[in-house]
């Protein structure tokens, strides 16, 4: 799907960021008998920072909240329907001097729900929280993960 948010934003150093109005991703968690798991996306190799693991997410359209964007993107990229999750929190996990932001939306599912990848994913996987660091993470997600993990602990 293409919305009015699709497109690159460039900062003064020439770094590019996807989403004319910023971007958002969904950190979806579920509890299992072995502990908390999080849904991660192995990004398609053709995508920006392809081959890394991150959250389902993408460009924010001008009329969307960060939560709306994250839930829409999780539906498009992972087949997750909004009735399977409850949004708990939003955290801006990256921002630039040109005003571009990435917001991580934290949500819970009752259980690890089935997923269906689209062309933006090599794989979708429910990963035990304590094993996330073992994967080759998208650099921005890797930088945000310690703070996100602390927030997950606070939320319980």
Q: What is the CATH number of the domain that holds 52?
A: 3.90.79.10
Number of domains in the chain: 1
Q: Is residue 117 part of a domain?
A: yes
3-state secondary structure 15-49: CEEECECEEEEEEEEEEECCEEEEEEEEECCCCCC
pLDDT in tens, 40-98: 999 876 777 768 999 999 999 999 999 999 999 999 999 999 999 999 999 999 999 99
Residue 82 falls inside a structural domain? yes
Is 101 a domain residue?
yes
- 119 lies in some domain: yes
The model's confidence at residue 7, banded by pLDDT at 50, 70 and 90, is: very high
Q: Domain of residue 53: give its range.
A: 8-24+35-155
Greatest Cα-to-Cα distance within the chain, rounded to the nearest angstrom: 48
pTM of the predicted protein model:
0.92
The answer to whether residue 122 sits within a structural domain is yes
Q: Which pLDDT tens digit goes with each residue over 14-29? A: 999 999 999 999 999 9
132 φ, ψ to 5°? -55, -40
């Amino acid at each position: 799907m293409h919305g009015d948010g699709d497109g690159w934003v460039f900062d003064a150093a020439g770094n590019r960021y996807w989403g004319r109005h910023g971007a958002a991703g969904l950190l979806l968690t579920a509890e299992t008998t072995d502990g908390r798991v999080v849904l991660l996306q192995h990004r398609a190799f053709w995508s920006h920072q392809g081959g890394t693991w991150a959250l389902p997410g993408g460009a924010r359209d001008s009329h969307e909240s960060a939560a709306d964007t994250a839930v829409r993107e999780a539906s498009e990229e992972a087949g997750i329907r909004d009735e399977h999750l409850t949004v708990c929190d939003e955290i801006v996990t990256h921002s630039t001097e040109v005003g571009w932001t990435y917001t991580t939306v934290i949500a819970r599912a009752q259980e690890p729900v089935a997923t269906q990848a689209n062309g933006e994913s090599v794989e979708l996987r429910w990963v035990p929280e304590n094993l996330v660091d073992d994967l080759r993470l998208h650099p921005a997600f890797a930088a945000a993960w310690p703070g996100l993990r602390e927030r997950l602990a606070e939320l319980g």
